[in-house]
Chains A and B, each alone.
Chain A
Amino acid sequence: MSTTEVTPDTHEGSSVSLQSSRRRLGDSVFSALSVGSGLLIFVTLALVAIFLTTESMPAVMESREATGSASGFSLLETTLPLVFGTVLAAAIALAIAIPVSIGIALFISHYAPRRLASTLGYLIDLLAAVPSVVYGLWGGLWLVPRLEPLYLFLNQTLGAWPTWPGFVPWVGGDPVIALFAGEPHAPMRNLASAAIVLAVMVLPIITAVAREVFLQTPRLQEEAALALGATRWETIRTVVLPFGRSGVVAASMLGLGRALGETMAVLMILAPGATFSFRILEVGMHQSIAANIASKQAEASGTEMSLLIFTGLVLFVLTFLINAVARWIVARSGVKS
């Protein structure tokens, strides 16, 4: 913004010297400040990256992969199950949250009466401001016991069914992915509970962004669709959703970022374990990177601490990659429309 304002100034201002020199002082101060603030982001990011890399080096050097000895800990074996748990929890959370968010956003932007829409929008924003500890408390103490009948029902009716045929040889998965199989028992501190609470947490973020995007649909296009005889649903399907697609993807990625890094809620709900199990109803099978760091760091020192920091580095890189992918998707679909 500052550059666009500066250019006309310098052209005209060469004749009116007094005024322009005063403006230039303000301009230079302001531009220095804003450039400084911008650079601060890079510096902070670089400092975090440097910290994570240097502090995790001891664990890398002492790991089985680096030393080649059979004894000692393995970087891959400790990190991969955590990555798996983190991604699985976030993926399930998004699978629940995205359809609901789109529904809420469409309701607010196209169906609800104006007053209701603004109240609802306000409530959604409020939901985004609730601290994750509160969600954790609510999930762990209130929600988990109430989900028990649902889980037992799913386990009994769908447990034997393959939800998804698949075989993941390198991580040692089952030949068939049966999400609801296994023997769930109370308290249901399993991945499904954690994912549901995560879904509630990312819901407001996705909804807020999606709502803004849907509201920006060109009015003329919508009216054209209606004039051609389309129903409201057909209008949404043919005009609003295609227009808002990249926005919804971007919103989902924002939500994914929060779901991946969420610590307290997962820590308070999930009974952890380190396996590659897809059985989301069984307890003690999964753990997320962030929750693992939070639970282990209090009594960790030396190499243990370094190993935890290494998992932090992995999470850092993971979120980076996901953001890059999101940007790529948004940029690509942006060109198309």
Chain B
Amino acid sequence: MNVRKNPLVSLAALGLVGGLALTACSGSSDASGETSDGGASSGGYAELSGNLAGSGASSTQNAQTAWTESFMGLVQSEGGDLQATYDPTGSGTGREQFLSGQVQFAGSDAALTEEGLASSTEQCNGEQAIDVPVYVSPIAVVFNLEGVDDLNLSPEVIGGIFAGDITNWNDPKIAADNPDADLPDLAIVPVHRSDDSGTTENFTEYLSETAPDAWTEGPVETWPIEGGQSGDGTSGMISTVEGGNGTIGYADASQAGNLGIAAVKVGDSFVEYSADAAAKAVDVSPRAEGREDDDIVFDLDRTTTEEGVYPIVLVSYLVLCGSYADAAQGDAVKAYASYITSQEGQQVAADNAGSAPLTEELSDEAQKAIDGITVG
């Protein structure tokens, strides 16, 4: 319980909460401490009850569904009675609902802004909200090209293709990176997402940072170029890429199916997508500046040259209150957040949504931040 920006507000909160906060805090942190060790064996779930509601990013929908279900199962098996729900309303709406107190936590593809943090004290018992990374999803560059299974692409080439400057598969720029491939004389059909999407935003952010000359549109949520092939949602994207020859698109790696996945140039070598390589992208990235210690936000380093790092990833955050006035609710949120950031919870998401599990260090760090949440 650090005194943050506004000491008066924190003092008021302290006065309101009184000594109860301290006891509740220590009591529940014991419980979540045990769950963090990956134990379904912890005894902290038995007293959980009521409703836990969250909303936000649709990208984490599969993971959140798996988490809420397995978490409710755990709670039930220990005699608790908790209803946890997640409504995939979109990142923006999720943050709005969280800040207005309609939901206890939000899922968001982007961390809360300074403004959001400042206004969060209203709902968060005088404390600021915190962001915790819970979901790392690698975005694969998928392609469908007869006779070509492996493809090496540099950021400049990817940017050129999606900007419409490189239009044929036998372009010398592509051939230079793929000396062994038999590239056909065929038009490239770039496919984008027709809906607004965090995947598009992270993909274009990667392009604009690694290949600013080839991709000049900057990081955008809505595809900026008029016309061209597109699909609605990840499934629409995949079916569009599958439906043509010479198509190339970008999609959540777990959904790539039988499509070819391009290896992306990092430094001097080409990195194939893997869950480990994606998780490393978060590890090599610095923390965003100007934030509290327990507000874990990364400034993703897309331009890293480190070996074995796959830089096109989407990091989704869980937005939580630094303090919950309602003790039952606070305990439920803490237990749930601890569960999903634990190695066990991360594995559940990896199995069900194909995400890359957080590394152990990051998982521990997240755990610490969650333990710091006060309740009561």
Contact = CB atoms under 8 A, between A and B. Distances in A.
Nearest to B97: A301
A272 B193 CA distance: 10
A280 interface: no
B243 A187 contact: yes
Q: B194, B197, B230, B245: which has the most chain A beta carbons within 10 Å? A: B194
B196 A283 contact: no
Contacts of B189: 185-186
Contacts of B226: 273-275, 284
A273 B92 CA distance: 24
Interface residues of A, number: 27
A249 interface: no
Nearest to B228: A284
B217 interface: no
B88 interface: yes
Contacts of B187: 185
Contacts of B229: 185, 187, 189, 271, 283-284
B93 interface: yes
A304 B91 CA distance: 13
Nearest to A282: B227
Contact of B195 (A140, A187, A299): A299
Contact of B228 (A271, A295, A301): A271
B119 interface: no
Interface string B177-202: 00000000001010000111110000
Task: Sort chain B's interface into a size bin.
Answer: 20 to 34
A300 interface: yes
B244 A298 contact: no
Interface in A291-311: 295-296, 298-302, 304
A131 interface: no
Interface stretch (B17-25, B232-240, B290-298, B306-314): B232-240
Q: Is the interface of A mostly helix, strand, loop or mixed?
A: loop
A32 interface: no
B243 A145 contact: yes
A145 B245 CA distance: 12
Given A186-B245, A298-B195, A271 B91 contact: no
A20 B171 CA distance: 91
A145 B243 CA distance: 7
Given A140-B239, A271-B229, A285-B227, A296 B244 contact: no
Contact of A299 (B197, B228, B232): B197
B89 interface: yes
A296 B233 CA distance: 10
A284 B226 CA distance: 7
A290 interface: no
Given A186-B245, A299-B92, A302-B96, 5 more contacts: A144-B243, A187-B229, A189-B229, A300-B196, A302-B92
11 contacts: A267-B232, A268-B232, A271-B240, A272-B230, A273-B230, A283-B229, A295-B233, A298-B89, A299-B197, A300-B90, A300-B92
